Amino acid sequence: MPFQSFKRSFTLSRTYTHLFPFPRNLLVIRMSSTNLTSLPPSSPSTKATDSVDPTPTSSSAPTKVKLTSHNQYSTPRLLRDQLHPDPLIQFNAWFTLALNGDESTHTPKVHEPEAMALSTVTLTSTSTSTQSKVSIPIPSTRIVLLKATDSQGFLFYTNYTSRKSQELLENPYASLCFYWRETSRQVRVVGRVEKVDRSDSEAYFNSRPVGSRLGAWASPQSTVVQDGEVQQRVEDVKKRFIPDTNLQQGGGQVQGEIEIECPEFWGGWRVIPFEVEFWSGQPSRLHDRFRYTRSDEASEWIIDRLAP
């Protein structure tokens, strides 16, 4: 599929297999979700699952782990003349292939390709010995889900009081990394961050399942909580937004549309890149790597091949 056929942006919501146009020139990728109207457990003591954590107990876990395997990657060669001048268009092309696969080239689908490592850096940290603030940059990484790209960058949504958001407020730069094991590809992004427009955050929030919207209100993200505390907060939020008769008639399920406003402390971040790298695995660790860089957001992108 030629690059010209890709739109300059896409949006992710949880429905799998459909590509179709969306207002504002977005390419929307729907991915199926389980019951979108199901609510969190009604009892604070109810566990989310009855399955047992398969992790070995401390008495049976090894004291050391050593890996000696040497996986050999083998993907089609990535060449300079295959790359689009705009890394966001190039990303959309790779992402669409990862999401859908391609039977004609025996390219498999990637499971949850929107999962990405987000790294932030705080400029100050708390000394464990003196409990005072010291100027030591400390990185922090976690997996979040990409929800859209647009002509500027990569979008995700979160609680603005969380650790990641507090670090972005203090130091508005971040890196992202996508790893698609099924296709032996990576994409690495470095850029500055900005908050998404409030109207866009509200529009995305309103598209979320009811349980997720309640959870956003209930969870004081990244703070210390006690067992059962978050579940009790969910019950309190339910009482605030959902009439008792609605829940009783639905047997715990929401009947009809429920309006739950987007919290002021919740919204989106956009990572606006000044560096994007595309990595394609090759045998003997001689991978193909191409890096896009620009000096500022008005500059043309420069593309360089990097040593593996």
**pLDDT class of 62 with cuts at 50, 70, 90:** confident
Residue 223's pLDDT is 84
Closest CA to 152 of 205, 85, 89, 200: 89
Taking only Cα atoms into account, the Rg of the chain, rounded to an integer number of angstroms, comes to 22
Helices 210-218, 229-241: crossing angle, 10 deg rounding: 120
Residue keyed to tokens 């399942």? 209
Active centre residues (catalytic): 285
CATH number for region 3-37+75-209+263-306? 2.30.110.10
Q: CA-CA distance, 278 to 289, in Å (whole number)? A: 6
pLDDT, tens digit, 9 for 90 and up, residues 223-249: 888 898 888 888 888 888 987 645 555
172 vs 252: which has the higher pLDDT: 172
Question: Terminal CA-to-CA distance of the chain, rounded, Å?
Answer: 28
Distances (CA, A) of 172 to 27, 36, 72, 193, 225: 27, 34, 37, 5, 28
Per-residue exposure over 10-41, b if at least 16 CB sit within 10 Å of its own CB, e if not: bbbebeeeeeeebeeebbbbbeeeeeeeebbe
φ, ψ (nearest 5 deg) of residue 81: -75, -5
| Cβ neighbours for 156, distance < 8 A, ≥ 6 positions apart | 116, 118, 144, 145, 146, 147, 268, 269, 271
Of 7-11, 54-58, 101-105, which one has max mean pLDDT? 101-105
